[in-house]
């Protein structure tokens, strides 16, 4: 019984995280974060 509840809770948490990550509202933030390694920084240029 307990293992079924734990499995259900973990599945719901996974689905909530998946929905959050693929939300269209988050696209701008993720696109901005994806370009961070490509931006040059004065400290990194030395």
Task: Tell me the residue range of the domain where 11 lies.
Answer: 1-35
The SS3 of residue 1 is coil
User: Are residues 46 and 40 in contact, defined by beta-carbon separation less than 8 angstroms?
Assistant: no
* Residue 4 belongs to a domain: yes
Count of the separate structural domains present in the chain: 1
* Residue 13 belongs to a domain: yes
* Residue 45 belongs to a domain: no
pLDDT of residue 40: 78
* Residue 23 belongs to a domain: yes
* Residue 9 belongs to a domain: yes
* Residue 27 belongs to a domain: yes
pLDDT of residue 14: 99
* Residue 14 belongs to a domain: yes
DSSP state of 39: S
Q: What is this structure's pTM? A: 0.62
Q: What is the 3-state secondary structure (H, E, C) of 1-46?
A: CHHHHHHHHHHHHHHHHHHHHCCHHHHHHHHHHHCHHHCCCHHHHC
At 1-43, the pLDDT tens digits run 999 999 999 999 999 999 999 999 999 999 999 999 998 776 5
Give yes or no for residue 45 having a pLDDT over 80. Answer: no
pLDDT of residue 41: 72
* Residue 22 belongs to a domain: yes
């Amino acid at each position: 019984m307990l293992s079924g509840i734990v499995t259900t809770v973990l599945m719901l948490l996974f689905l909530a995280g998946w929905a959050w990550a693929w939300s269209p509202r988050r696209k701008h933030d993720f696109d901005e974060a994806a370009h961070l390694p490509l931006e040059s920084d004065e400290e990194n240029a030395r």
